Structure 1
Amino acid sequence: MSRSALKEIVWPGLQDEIMSLRDSVAFLEGRLAASRRLAAEQAGLLERQALELGACKVELAELKARAGRGLAPDARLAQQVETLSGKVPLSWVRSTKAVPFANLGDALSPLIVSVMSGLPVAHYAFNSPNRRLAAVGTIGQGQSAGTVHFWGTGFDPKRNATGDRSRGFTAAPGVDYVVHAVRGPFTRRALLAAGIEAPAIYGDPAWFLPRILKPRVEKKYELGVVLHISELDTPGPETGSVTGQPRFAGAQDYGVHVISTYHEPSWSGLVGKLQEILACRRIVSNSFHGLLLADAYQIPCLYFPNAPTGLKRFDLEGNYDEPLNHRFADFYRGVGRSSMFAYGNPSSAPTPWEEVIAAVDRFWEPLSFTGEALFDAFPLAPRVAFSEKRWPVDDEAAAALPW
């Protein structure tokens, strides 16, 4: 058979087979491409799942670490909140008929607890038999009944629930003390001496106020003097009752503004008082929270005790020097200070304001305290994160707090 004849017979079959093979190759290439896409998608899914698993492991490790340190949200307190239809039972010194004003430091307790928990608060007396929380203020020694959870609270080491100063602080027989954090090591020392367990977690919740309120305020005064309420002749937001004291003679001539920590018992009253403090370029204070807030807002400041005139350096290690008030010693030692500067001046003598201003400028140093351990010790599930620089506050909810 000739080659041409053979070609005519074989070639069409070969062409059909080649086309079939090409179709098979195209089909297999399509399958391979689909398999590769599926493999890539599965690899991406596995990668995402691995990342999520890693994040879960980190979160679990953090929760275990917190639980191991006793820092997990307290189920018993959470149950009490649930019993109260979502209100946090809280003890603090609020306004009364006898003193119809709020004191700035005390009033920060319901605000900060409410913002951190995302819940309203209910006021509970110091002698309430119910489980409750105590936070801002030197109020630990005054609790006389019930189960009290303490978070950043101060205790007066020289007083107990009856006010007896003869023996110093002793545990009240009707109180179950549950301590999550305290203001500082001197409070902790008093608790341990009384047989009450307390972790070495320090700080005052008022430190968190700049995360909640940070209004822009024009600086109007060279120096603000934030008074302790004991320095007022008459309780109230105004300071006219002290202007006649020799200590404050000539204050206005040097741009000095005297500030009472009392304010109207309302949200607007608290904001207004804070703005008054923030309007000062410097602060000196015999009020603990006056000084703490200055430091929290990074306003140059010094302690201003009723003491012999002049610059003083108080030792905070081991014990603390008199006449340094225990509140200052407690907090500032707890945030890592080994000493603190002050400018003393007795109420009976004029203050050399230029020297005071110069001392603030020379000796103030900002604190490196962050408050993270205190935040972690909050005994309820927080609705805010420590990593957030600003914590949202609802004006209506804040106005509804029991000031």
Structure 2
Amino acid sequence: MNNDYYLYQQEDIKYKDFTNILFFYQKYKDNPWNKGENFGDYLSKIIVGEIAISKGFKKAKSIENKLLGVGSILHFANTNDIIWGSGINGKIGLDRLTFNNLNIKSVRGPLTKEILENKGLSVPDIFGDPALLMPKLFPSLKYSPVKNKVTVIPNLNEFEEVEKIISKKFNLISPLKHWNIVFNEILTSEIVYTSSLHGLIICEAFNIPVILFKPFGGETLFKYEDYLEGTGRKLNRIPKTFNEGINENNGIVLKSPKYKIEEILNQFPNELFTKDIND
């Protein structure tokens, strides 16, 4: 059993009344929690649950459709599903987008918006990954770097390969560890090298120095560019991958992101929840 099983179990109890309508990507759906969850995708559950609790909701309403939040998961959407901050996954064919209508509150970035609008959908000009809300939702989480601690967070699909080649001078963190453990490692690092999109997003949310590497485990750069453009930037050159050398010169340092926390939060789909336990 995964050492983090107890943490997942406690959160399942805490958030179950709010997240039964939520879809998020699970790598090991047949064995929930036993092998861990990709921490970025799993944050969707934490964020939706925390916001619902903070607003005084008692539970999610019974609805036919599902809510999609954090992640490159729009190829899992069905007609009339609710979208809050989700993005398109560049490695999945657009023929997988089989819906003909969505209730879109916001999307991750303008590249996702363009594709959806080309399908005839209405998409608001409100961008940003909901994971950017984590500092607001958890104000006790603070950046407290340890001298000379350099943390490496690979993309989920390349962790095992990076594990084989990485020097012991680096602090290697699996994205399958519980989010609280991953955050603790990020928040105590002087700098983070990452090819994980949510490794990047969390560093930027907490103003932690970060260097982006190109993923080599099957991912494309689409979702990274989507997020960057949604936060006011462009990828002006392609970084190298971890298997080309794990050093600061092979990655890229990005300009600071521009986003509006309240704008993302205001698009939260309050109508899906109720303050009446009997509703």
User: Which category describes the TM-score, using the shorter chain as reference length?
Assistant: 0.7 to 0.9
Offset from partner CA, 1:304-358 (integer Å, 9 cap, x none): 1157xxxxxxxxxxxxxxx9611110011011113456641452x443x3645xx
Q: Which residue in the other structure is 1:337 paired with?
A: 233
In the alignment, the residues of structure 1 paired with residue 189 and residue 17 of structure 2 have an alpha-carbon distance, to the nearest angstrom, of: 42
Q: 1:330 to 1:137 in 2, by over 3 A?
A: same
Q: Is the 8 A contact 2:213 2:241 kept in 1?
A: yes
Retained in 2: the 8 A contact 1:149–1:177?
yes
CA deviation digits over 1:31-78, x for unaligned, max 9?
xxxxxxxxxxxxxxxxxxxxxxxxxxxxxxxxxxxxxxxxxxxxxxxx
1:375 aligns with 2:271: no
Of residues 11, 17, 24, the one that matches 1:92 is 24
Residue 61 (structure 1) aligns with:
none
Work out the CA distance in 2 between the residues paired with 1:137 and 1:304: 19
* Counterparts in 2 of 1:221 and 1:141: CA distance versus 1, 3 Å: farther
Match of 2:153 in 1: 226
Matched, 1:142 2:76: yes
Does residue 1:106 correspond to 2:41, yes or no?
yes
How far apart in 2 are the matches of 1:303 and 1:259?
15
Q: How far apart are residue 376 of structure 1 and its match?
A: 1.9
| Number of the residue aligned with 1:252 | 168
State the match for 1:28 in structure 2: none
Q: Which has the larger radius of gyration?
A: 1
Q: What is the rounded CA distance, in whole Å, between the counterparts of 1:121 and 1:226 in structure 2? A: 35
Deviation at 1:270, TM superposition (A): 2.3
Q: Distance in 2 between matches of 1:109 and 1:211?
A: 15
**RMSD of equivalent CA atoms:** 3.2
TM score, norm. by length of structure 1: 0.54
Alignment of 1:126-141 (within 5 A): 130-141=64-75
Aligned residues of 1:181 and 1:202 also touching (Cα < 8 A): yes
The residue aligned with 2:131 is 206
**Contact kept in structure 1, 2:117 and 2:123, CA below 8 Å:** yes
- Give the conservation status (yes or no) of the 8 Å contact 2:110–2:226: yes
Aligned counterpart for 2:180 among listed residues 255, 267, 271: 271
Tell me how far apart the structure 1 counterparts of residues 248 and 24 of structure 2 sit (CA, whole Å): 38
Distance across 1 between alignment mates of 2:210 and 2:149: 12
- Over 3 Å counting, the alpha-carbon distance change for 1:89 and 1:121 in structure 2 is farther
Q: Kindly indicate whether the alpha-carbon contact (under 8 Å) linking 1:156 and 1:169 is maintained by their aligned counterparts in 2.
A: no
Q: Distance in 2 between matches of 1:172 and 1:302?
A: 36
What is aligned with 1:193?
118
The separation in 2 between residues aligned to 1:377 and 1:87, in whole angstroms, is 17
What are the residue-to-residue correspondences of 1:10-21 with 2, within 5 Å?
none
Equivalent residues in 2 for 1:3-402, closer than 5 Å: 89-94=21-26, 96-98=29-31, 100-118=35-53, 119=57, 130-143=64-77, 145=78, 147-156=80-89, 159=92, 165=93, 168-169=94-95, 171-173=97-99, 176-213=101-138, 214-216=140-142, 217-219=144-146, 221-233=148-160, 242-245=162-165, 248=166, 251-253=167-169, 256-263=170-177, 269-306=178-215, 325-340=221-236, 343-345=239-241, 347=243, 349-351=244-246, 353=247, 355=249, 363-380=253-270
What is the DSSP-based 3-state SS (H/G/I as helix, E as strand, rest coil) of the residue aligned with 1:232?
helix
Percent identity between the aligned chains?
23
* Cα pair 1:117 1:382 within 8 Å, conserved: no
By relative contact order (CA 8 Å, sep 6+), the higher-ranking structure is 2
1:260-281 superposed Cα distances (whole Å, 9 cap, x missing partner): 1112xxxxx3212210121211
Q: How many residues align?
A: 247
**Unmatched 5+ residue regions in structure 2?**
1-15, 274-279
What CA distance in whole angstroms lies between the structure 1 residues aligned with 2:149 and 2:238? 18
Q: Unpaired segments of 5 or more residues in structure 1?
A: 1-83, 160-164, 234-240, 264-268, 308-322, 384-403
Could you say what secondary structure the match of 2:64 adopts? coil
Q: Are the structure 2 counterparts of residues 180 and 350 from structure 1 closer, same or farther at C-alpha, using a change threshold of 3 Å?
A: closer
Q: List per-residue Cα deviations over 1:236-287 (Å, max 9, x = no partner).
A: xxxxx63323xx2xx333xx21221112xxxxx3212210121211112111
Instruction: Give how far 1:212 is off.
Output: 2.2
Preserved CA contact (<8 Å) 2:101 2:121: no
Secondary structure at the aligned position of 1:344 is classed as: coil
Deviation at 1:203, TM superposition (A): 0.6
Structure 1: distance between partners of 2:59 and 2:147: 35
What is the DSSP-based 3-state SS (H/G/I as helix, E as strand, rest coil) of the residue aligned with 2:270?
coil
Letter in 1 for 2:221: N
CA offset at residue 157 of structure 1? 5.0
Deviation digits for residues 348-390 of structure 1 (CA, Å, limit 9, x no counterpart): x443x3645xx76xx444323233322222121699xxxxxxx
The CA distance in 2 between the partners of 1:86 and 1:333, in whole Å, is: 31
Query: What is the identity, as a one-letter code, of the residue corresponding to 1:199?
Result: P
Q: Which structure features the higher share of helix residues?
A: 1
Q: Distance in 2 between matches of 1:291 and 1:169?
A: 29
2:46 & 2:221 partners in 1: Cα distance?
26
